[in-house]
Structure 1
Amino acid sequence: MTKRAFTFPGQGSQAVGMGKDLAAAYPEARAVFQEVDEALGQRLSAIMFEGSDDILRLTENAQPALMAVSLAIMRVLQAKGIRLVDHAAFVAGHSLGEYSALCAAGSFSLADAARLLRIRGLAMQKAVPVGHGTMAALLGLDLAVAREVAAEAAGDDVCDVANDNAPGQVVISGATAAVERAVEIAKAKGAKRALLLPVSAPFHCALMQPAAEAMQAALADVTVNAPVVPLVANVLAAPITDPDDIRRRLVEQVTGVVRWTESVTWLTGPGGVTHLAELGTGKVLTGLAKRINAEAVATAVSTPADIDAFVAELSA
């Protein structure tokens, strides 16, 4: 029996031109982009469709932009008779993708999700001066060894595991000097590759505490409804539905580990999920899903052709 989860991508999946094909093809997508523009008081859609990569990559733009594309796809599916509650047993999102997942599942309004992600992006950028923090990918090391690397490299600085993306793909985050040390230690411990990432801030580590406080204040001011299906939370790798719990976990997520390997393992194990559909820009989560559980069927729904194929599959 087919059981699905809808997943939503995180930062790094953005690309200039994102959403443009959807806006050209579907009035529902155009309406989403317009609503996000109005909520932010900015033509974010113009940056997405034909802006410069440098401007789009700014955290304050990339985060709401990725959410907007995911929700545009969701609205188009709804217009074609595909309701999330009828076809997904769970939702999950990678980092900022949790906001997309929650918006798709009815916890946040689209305008609130856009404004929260703008606040989140600005707060994360402001938490650490540019150049003082960074992130690195450690490839070919398991999570336990990556934790050892981070601890050894930290010294008096912050160096934390940030993302457990898939077996052999762990991202660390912290003070620039500590992360640079970690890259060398990881190579000595047998990493296939260890490389600094082109990010503007050290996400998901203790240095993000000021951003966590900003999100606690922001989330206290918005309505959070129970999602129509459970969210498998990044920091728990387990399902939640209670609005107060959702607020708490979204705050913890700013400084906490994105436990993506465990989340997909839970979904495709105890959760009983057989099919994972990634709604949004790119195919990053689809690739990770296949590395985490080769038996799970993973599909990216990103383009108008993908949407047609997905609707046909769900309607069969």
Structure 2
Amino acid sequence: RLLKLRGQAMQKAVPVAQGAMAALIGADLDQAEKAAEAGSAQGVCQIANDNAPGQVVISGAKAAVDAAIAAAQEMGVKRAMPLPVSAPFHCALMQPAADAMAEALASASFSAPSVPVVVNVRARPESDPAILRDLLVEQVTGRVRWRESAEWMAGEGGIATFAEAGGKVLTGMLKRIAPDAAGVPLISADDIVNFASSLKG
């Protein structure tokens, strides 16, 4: 129910064609910040995803994102390209969706997780149900800090093997973030069975 509500609220938050997202390929975080700052003269524009070294996504009002793309190109960023998305996710324009989530989550029952959850909006583990509830709201408008999250897990978190359910995108990012960590994409039922068997030794 909450996932459905979140998706619907995010779609309703910004009228079609008024928002945009763009990938800055080859940009470091500082370049992406400067590009977003340049774009913000035209409206909301901020970093939405810090995915991996050289892969940052920005989000905001269409005119602002277009201006940020131009600024990134002027800075010599390898590629700055619009993404085919239905809404400008993970930016301040999603505040109406965050408000809807806060209202829905207020009546939801939360229990402490059996293991800490590394929350991508903070890039740190969390177990407190009340804090997790708040972070689910913050994540609607906040930056997805995947690079930092993976760095923490592979470093301080002591995780050597990462399993990705349903694709290979995050596994590819992991190779650039933490080259010494093992990434295992679980795409088929056999992949899951084999991975589970490997854990049993």
Scaled by the length of structure 2, the TM-score of the pair is: 0.98
Distance in 2 (alpha carbons) for counterparts of 1:150 and 1:218: 31
Distance in 2 (alpha carbons) for counterparts of 1:190 and 1:275: 35
| 1:62-97 Cα shifts (integer Å, max 9, x gaps) | xxxxxxxxxxxxxxxxxxxxxxxxxxxxxxxxxxxx
Aligned to 2:136: 250
Aligned to 1:139: 25
Distance in 2 (alpha carbons) for counterparts of 1:178 and 1:172: 10
Alignment partner of 1:277: what SS? strand
Does the CA-based 8 Å contact 2:22-2:83 persist in structure 1? yes
Residue from 167, 177, 180 that aligns with 1:292: 177
Distance in 2 (alpha carbons) for counterparts of 1:302 and 1:213: 35
Distance in 2 (alpha carbons) for counterparts of 1:225 and 1:300: 29
Number of matched pairs: 201
Query: Which of 155-164 and 299-308 deviates more?
Result: 299-308
User: What letter matches 2:187 in structure 1?
Assistant: S
Distance in 2 (alpha carbons) for counterparts of 1:195 and 1:297: 30
Distance in 2 (alpha carbons) for counterparts of 1:230 and 1:142: 29
Larger proportion of strand: 2
RMSD in angstroms over aligned alpha carbons? 0.9
Residue from 7, 11, 34 that aligns with 1:148: 34
Residue from 37, 47, 53 that aligns with 1:167: 53
Does the CA-based 8 Å contact 2:42-2:63 persist in structure 1? no
Does the CA-based 8 Å contact 2:42-2:67 persist in structure 1? no
Aligned to 1:237: 123
Alignment partner of 2:63: what SS? helix
Scaled by the length of structure 1, the TM-score of the pair is: 0.63
Matches within 5 A, 1:1-316: 115-279=1-165, 281-316=166-201
1:312 deviates by: 1.9
Alignment partner of 1:155: what SS? helix
Larger proportion of helix: 1
| 1:259-304 Cα shifts (integer Å, max 9, x gaps) | 000000000111111111112x211111111111111001111211
Aligned to 1:106: none
Q: Percent identity?
A: 56
Runs (4+) of structure 1 moved beyond 4 Å? none
1:156 deviates by: 4.3
Could you tell me which runs of 5 or more consecutive residues in structure 1 were left unpaired when the two chains were aligned: 1-114
User: What letter matches 1:307 in structure 2?
Assistant: I
